[in-house]
Structure 1
C-alpha cells in the first residue's frame, strides 16, 4: 500500500473515531439530549424500559464505545461492523426528524441528503475499519 494512502486511512480512521466519540458525548448534554429524545419516532416510544431518554443515552454510549473501538487494532473490525449497524438503527430517528422539519429545525436534514450521507459514512467506517495499515 502506498504510504500516502496508508496515512490517509489512518487520518480518516482517527477523524471518524473522534466524530463518534464527540457525538456520543453530546448525547449527555441535557439540552441536546431532550431534543434527540424528541426525535425518537412514536412507534419506538412504547416501551417503559427503553424510554426516549434512555435510548439517547444508550446510543451515546454506543457511539463512544464504537469510536474508541476504531482506535484499537484488536477491536477495530468489530467496532466498524457495530457502528455500521448503529448507523442503520438510528436512521429512523433522522427520517422522523426530516418529516417534521418545522419541529426540529436545522437538525432535521432533508431525507435524501441524510440518507446519502449516512450511507457514505457507513462505507467510510467499513473501509477504514477493515483496512490494515502496515506499521
Structure 2
C-alpha cells in the first residue's frame, strides 16, 4: 500500500472515530438520555453539590466527548485529544460497570461488564492509533 492510500485510510478512520465521539457527546444533551446516564452514575460518585449533580456530570462528559472528537481532527490538538479521550474512557468506566451490574434498571444500555471492558479497551487503542499516527 502506498503512502497516499494509507493517508486516506487513516483520515477516514480518524474521521469515523471523531464522529463516534461527537455523536455520543451530542447524545448527552438529549433529555431522555441525560436522565438514563445520570442514573448510571454510581452512588459513591454522586455529589451533594448542585454544581456536580449527576445531570451536570452528564453534560460535562458530553462536552468532553465532543471536544475530544473534534480535537482528533485538528493536527495541533490530535495527540492531546487522543490522550484525553483515553483518560475519559477510563474515567467513565465505573458508570458503565455500575450499569452492567444493574441490567434490570438500564436495559440495553447496560452492556455486560466483560464485553464493555473489551470494547472500551479496543476503543481506547483505536483512539491512540488515530491520534498518534501522523
2:26 — aligned with what? 25
Distance in 2, Cα, partners of 1:89 & 1:25 = 18
Residue of structure 2 equivalent to 1:45 = 46
1:28-66: CA deviation from partner (whole Å, max 9, x where unpaired): 011110000000000011341311000000000000000
Q: Any gaps of 5 or more consecutive residues in structure 2?
A: none
Q: TM-score, normalised to structure 1's length?
A: 0.94
User: What root-mean-square deviation, in Å, do the aligned CA atoms of Structure 1 and Structure 2 show?
Assistant: 1.0
3-state DSSP of counterpart to 2:114:
helix
Tell me which stretches of 4 or more aligned residues in structure 1 moved more than 4 Å.
Answer: none
What is the number of residues matched between the two proteins?
Answer: 132
Query: Which structure has the highest helix share of the two?
Result: 2
2:106 to 100, 104, 113: 104
Residue of structure 2 aligned with 1:115, choices 92, 117, 121: 117
Match of 1:74, SS state, is helix
